[in-house]
């Protein structure tokens, strides 16, 4: 029940609904059976920590390869941002959700390319908001490049090949707010989905767990590691890697006691560019599995609304 995809928002953001009633409106009740087993019986996954300060080492690249090919996600530590800075980012996110409704109607913030920033739409009444968010995304932009290079090396490819296929990154920030929910057994925070990104970089709530990842048809809880950034591979990483990297299908469950906040930064290629499987990863044993795609994010949203996966359309 996140204040999330515009497509999902009815007339009123969910944060407002949660403030005005304790009844869960019918449209939020999950139709195809309950989320079930959402908390206690879902096992905690291995944190899959990747130390960014050691990313050039064989050992770290091997961990990365395992994470990418078996889970499609990992958590980055030693990324150069201090814990107190990450707390500051969380703090401006909290302040953001305390703003009056009109100020936060625009929930997606394009942060790269810079000329699409439209800073005039950013909340004005939060003194540190712009500064902190811009510093955060500046760090993430650098980290994106480091990670795309590491991904190439982890798959034993020349280090620039993902970066070159990706081209100039579009990065979109979204603040997610999950109110405490009176019926957590019956309401998702976010329904199961893979992201329509190359990778997504997520700053999780420091205290409240909620994110879960699907692996071999089983759900796992993602551990909260306050100083780590959670990275999940999206459909475009799966496409570029010709299926070697798996999109991490994930969901967010709600919590009856506590609200939860997260900040997702979606990283995608320029929507006008064509993105397809790397030639290096197409061969007789592994023929091309996906078409080239363009403006994938649009395709993604069309399918998301229908509860389908856009990547199925890209499969050959
Ligand atoms: C998303 C997402 C997870 C979270 O925004 O696509 O999966 O924990 N967010 O908020
Ligand atoms: Ni997601």
| Among 202, 210, 300, residue to substitute to test ligand 1 (most atoms within 8 Å of Cβ) | 202
Hey, is 112 helix, strand or coil? strand
CB of 3 within 6 A of ligand 1: the answer is: no
Q: What is the pLDDT of residue 137?
A: 97
Cα 140 to ligand 2 centroid, rounded to whole Å = 17
Closest CA to 133 of 149, 145, 117: 117
Domain that holds residue 306: 3-18+45-314
Predicted confidence (pLDDT) per residue in 277-315, tens digit: 999 999 999 999 999 999 999 999 899 888 889 999 999
Residue 21 DSSP label: -
Predicted confidence (pLDDT) per residue in 100-154, tens digit: 776 665 578 899 999 898 887 788 888 899 999 999 999 999 999 999 999 999 9
Does 39 map to a domain?
A: no
Cα 158 to ligand 1 centroid, rounded to whole Å = 31
Does 277 map to a domain?
A: yes
| Among 189, 200, 230, residue to substitute to test ligand 1 (most atoms within 8 Å of Cβ) | 200
Q: What is the pLDDT of residue 306?
A: 86
Does 268 map to a domain?
A: yes
Question: b/e for 197-206, b at 16 or more Cβ within 10 A?
Answer: bbbbbbbbbe
Cα 6 to ligand 1 centroid, rounded to whole Å = 14
CB of 262 within 6 A of ligand 1: the answer is: yes
Does 109 map to a domain?
A: yes
Does 124 map to a domain?
A: yes
Q: Model's pTM, two decimal places?
A: 0.90
**Number of domains observed in the structure of the chain:** 1
Does 234 map to a domain?
A: yes
Question: What is the distance between the alpha carbons of residues 166 and 148, in angstroms, rounded to a whole number?
Answer: 9
Hey, is 174 helix, strand or coil? strand
Task: With a cut of 90, say whether residue 43 has pLDDT above it.
Answer: yes
Q: What is the pLDDT of residue 2?
A: 38
Task: With a cut of 70, say whether residue 34 has pLDDT above it.
Answer: no
Q: What is the pLDDT of residue 256?
A: 86
Q: Which atom of ligand 1 is nearest to the CA of 178?
A: 10
Q: Which atom of ligand 1 is nearest to the CA of 204?
A: 8
Does 31 map to a domain?
A: no
Q: What is the pLDDT of residue 74?
A: 98
Cα 175 to ligand 1 centroid, rounded to whole Å = 9
Mean pLDDT of the chain: 88
Does 172 map to a domain?
A: yes
Supply the CATH number for residue 147's domain. 2.60.120.330
Least confident of 34-38, 105-109, 259-263: 34-38
DSSP string, 30-56: -SSS---S-STTSPBPP--EEEGGGTT
β-bridge pairing 250-253 and 211-215: antiparallel
């Amino acid at each position: 029940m996140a204040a999330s995809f515009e497509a999902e928002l009815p007339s009123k953001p969910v944060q407002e609904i949660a403030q005005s009633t304790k009844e869960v409106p019918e449209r939020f009740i999950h139709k195809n059976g309950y989320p079930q087993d959402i908390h206690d019986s879902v096992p905690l996954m291995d944190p899959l920590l990747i130390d960014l300060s050691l990313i050039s080492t064989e050992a770290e690249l091997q961990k990365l390869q395992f994470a990418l090919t078996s889970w499609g996600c990992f958590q980055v530590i030693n990324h150069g941002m201090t814990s107190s800075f990450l707390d500051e980012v969380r703090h401006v996110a909290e302040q953001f959700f305390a703003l009056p409704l009109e100020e936060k109607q625009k929930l997606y913030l394009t942060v790269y390319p810079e000329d699409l920033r439209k800073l005039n739409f950013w909340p004005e009444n939060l003194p540190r908001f712009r500064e902190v968010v811009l510093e955060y995304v500046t760090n993430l932009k650098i980290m994106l490049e480091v990670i795309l290079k590491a991904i190439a090396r982890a798959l034993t490819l020349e280090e620039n090949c993902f970066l070159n296929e990706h081209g100039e990154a579009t990065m979109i920030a979204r603040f997610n707010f999950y109110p405490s929910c009176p019926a957590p057994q019956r309401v998702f925070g976010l329904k199961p989905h893979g992201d329509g990104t190359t990778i997504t970089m997520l700053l999780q709530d420091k205290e409240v767990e909620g994110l879960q990842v699907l692996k071999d048809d089983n759900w796992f809880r993602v551990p909260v590691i306050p100083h780590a950034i959670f990275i999940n591979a999206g459909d475009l990483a799966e496409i570029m890697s010709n299926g070697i990297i798996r999109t991490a299908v994930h969901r967010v469950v709600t919590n009856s006691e506590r609200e939860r906040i997260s900040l997702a930064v979606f990283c995608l290629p320029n929507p006008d560019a064509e993105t397809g499987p790397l030639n290096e990863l197409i061969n007789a044993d592994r023929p091309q599995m996906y078409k080239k795609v363009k403006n994938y994010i649009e395709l993604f949203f069309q399918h998301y609304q229908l509860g389908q996966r856009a990547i199925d359309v890209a499969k050959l």
